[in-house]
Amino acid sequence: MKYMYFKSWPVTLIEDAGNTSFFRHQRLVLGVGSAEAALLKVDEAGSVLESRGDSLVGVSNYSPYGHTLSPTDIGFKGEWFNRFSRSYPLGNGYRDYSAVLMRFRSPDSLSPMGDGGINPYAFVSNDPVNWSDPSGHRRILYSGIKQTTITEITKGVFRKKRELYITGHGSLDSTKVKFDGVGLSPEQLFEKAKEKGVSFEVRKGDRTRPVYDRVIIAACYSAGTANDRGASFAQKFADKVGSRVRGYEGAVRAVFRGDEFHQVTSWTEPKYRTGFNYKPFDFSPRITDSNSTIRNR
């Protein structure tokens, strides 16, 4: 048996008895084709609930951790189900998740100090309803947040202010935010933005002023302090660029149209249970010797 992936998404299963291919839109599986094609009904987390072919109808129900009595090749959260090991090989086969055991079968190489969390065997910090873990390394909100390049929204689009939107992936346990798959500190993000041609200051006469009225870091936990280790990512970035920076206390979901950042939604109400509060926070740059010197020179 061989698995073929597109990025982190399984697309083809090769067996002696034949091949099976899956039609996807990003993480959502919409159809399956082998000897007979079938249309799949999935929920917003990607779990296959029902399949309809020319001569069959299959229905699946899942426990919160993904166990089902009627498994299919693509199952819980749109992941491949290995019928031999009775588990889900996550991260392109990096390690197996057992829905029966409700945990991984092997430890995470990023635990306990990195994105994997303290418990190296835990699945999505024991909150499988709201989170998923397609990489086998770290949990993400089930719909995730699409990565894109740094995008500049010019004056007049958002309340007649000049704003810069930067999107990425944040983690509750990490002081860095991933951009284009690479974890960056606020200082490294500043340098990366300059490499892409983004300027944060403009000189007028003998003084400089910020180019943007506000910079928005559209990444999960960008307003939080990972493990209470000092200021937030957004605060440190505000200190670096000399502009107000908006970050998010919890998880955020972004909607994109092409290469343009279209909308960002911060959840302020629980989606499935109480205890969530995903609020945006604005940070002003703190006056230090370093950024004061940068603005005045």
Q: Are 72 and 81 in contact (CB under 8 A)?
A: yes
Phi-psi region of 101 (alpha: psi -120 to 50; beta: other; left: phi over 0): alpha
Please state, in angstroms and rounded to a whole number, the distance separating the CA atoms of residues 176 and 185: 5
Please state, in angstroms and rounded to a whole number, the distance separating the CA atoms of residues 263 and 100: 38
Q: Are 49 and 57 in contact (CB under 8 A)?
A: no
Q: Give the pLDDT score at 111.
A: 83
Q: Give the pLDDT score at 54.
A: 64
Please state, in angstroms and rounded to a whole number, the distance separating the CA atoms of residues 14 and 92: 15
Q: Are 125 and 139 in contact (CB under 8 A)?
A: yes
Q: Are 216 and 166 in contact (CB under 8 A)?
A: yes
Q: Give the pLDDT score at 267.
A: 39
Phi, psi of 262, deg, nearest 5 = -100, -45
Ranges under pLDDT 70 in the chain: 1, 8, 25-27, 34-36, 54-57, 141-161, 172-174, 180, 226-229, 252-279, 287-297
**DSSP run (H or E) holding 24:** strand 18-25
- In this prediction the pTM is 0.48
